[in-house]
Amino acid sequence: MSKVLIATMLLLANGAQAACEDWGQRGALLYRDDFEGPLKGYVSEYARKPGNFVGTRDGRLVIDVDSGATVWLDKPLSGNILVAYTRRVVVDGGPNDRLSDLNHFWMAGDPARNTLFTRSGKFEDYDDLDMYYAGVGGNGNTTTRLRRYGGGQRVMVGERLGPDWMLEPNRDYQVEIAVYRGCTRMRIDGREVLSYRDRQPYTRGYTGFRTTWSRQTIDNFTIHQLK
C-alpha cells in the first residue's frame, strides 16, 4: 500500500472532510422583501431605548443600535436554500456609526424551548442555540469568522484575517448564504468568504440579520430553494 494512500486513509479516519464544491442551482423563490412598507413578518431583538431603531426607512431595513441586535425572519426554513440580500454598514457621523459586525445567524433552533424568540439581543443570549453564525468584520473590523453553535459550544469552523476580508464603509455588499447537502457557505460580491461541510448539518431553522453597535441597511432580501 502506498504512503499516499495510507496518509489519505488516516486523514479520513481522523475526520478530514471533503471540500464543498457543488452548490446546486437556484430554484423556486420562497420569500422576497424589498422593505418598501412597514416591517412585518420579523421579530426584532434589541434594547428599545432612545437612539436605537429597527424598522424600514427609504425602502430599506435599518438597524441602528448602540448594542446587540438580531432581526429574525418569522418563518422557519428547511432543506437546501439560498439567502441573498444587499447590505451596507453606514459610517456618516451618526451616534451609532461604527465599521464592524456585518453578521448573520441561520438554520437557528432552540433545543430547550418551543419558541426561538425569547432573547434581548445580547450576543451571549444566543450561546445555547443550534445554528450557524458568520461574523464579517467583527471585533472592530479585525476578524471574519464562521462558527457552528451546538450543545452550548461555539466552535469556529472558518476564519479569514487581513484587510482583504474586512469591511469598507458605505459600500453595498451583495451577500449570499447557501445551505446545500451538508455544506454551508457565505459569499460576498461573488467571492466565497467562508464555507464548511458539516457531518451533522442543521437542515431546518430560522435566519436572522445580526449586528452589534452599528448602523446598517438591508435591501433586496430573497430566499430561493436550491436544487
In a domain, 7, yes or no: no
Give yes or no for residue 173 having a pLDDT over 70. yes
Which grid coordinates are listed for 134? Answer: 458568520
> Given this model, what pLDDT does residue 15 score?
42
Which grid coordinates are listed for 59? Answer: 425602502
202 confidence band (pLDDT: 50, 70, 90): very high
DSSP string, 151-194: TTEEEEEEEE-SGGGS--TT--EEEEEEEETTEEEEEETTEEEE
The total domain count for the chain is: 1
In a domain, 91, yes or no: yes
Lowest mean pLDDT among 60-64, 71-75, 111-115, 133-137: 111-115
**d(C-alpha 124, C-alpha 41), whole Å:** 25
Which grid coordinates are listed for 133? Answer: 453564525
> Given this model, what pLDDT does residue 195 score?
97
User: What is the value of pTM for the model shown?
Assistant: 0.92
Give yes or no for residue 83 having a pLDDT over 70. yes
> Given this model, what pLDDT does residue 17 score?
62
Give yes or no for residue 4 having a pLDDT over 70. no
In a domain, 202, yes or no: yes
- Give residue 146's domain range: 21-226
**d(C-alpha 52, C-alpha 58), whole Å:** 17
CA 129 to chain centre: 14
Distances (CA, A) of 193 to 103, 138, 144, 147, 150: 13, 14, 8, 13, 22
In a domain, 85, yes or no: yes
Which grid coordinates are listed for 55? Answer: 424598522
Q: CB–CB of 35/221 below 8 Å?
A: yes
CATH number at residue 43: 2.60.120.200
> Given this model, what pLDDT does residue 19 score?
84
H or E segment to which residue 10 belongs = helix 3-13
**d(C-alpha 11, C-alpha 4), whole Å:** 11
Q: Which residue has the cell 453606514?
A: 90
18 confidence band (pLDDT: 50, 70, 90): confident
In a domain, 9, yes or no: no
Which grid coordinates are listed for 135? Answer: 461574523
Average pLDDT over residues 162-186: 98
In a domain, 217, yes or no: yes
Average pLDDT over residues 39-54: 98
In a domain, 80, yes or no: yes
**d(C-alpha 23, C-alpha 47), whole Å:** 37
Chain mean pLDDT for the chain: 93
Q: Which residue has the cell 452548490?
A: 23
In a domain, 6, yes or no: no
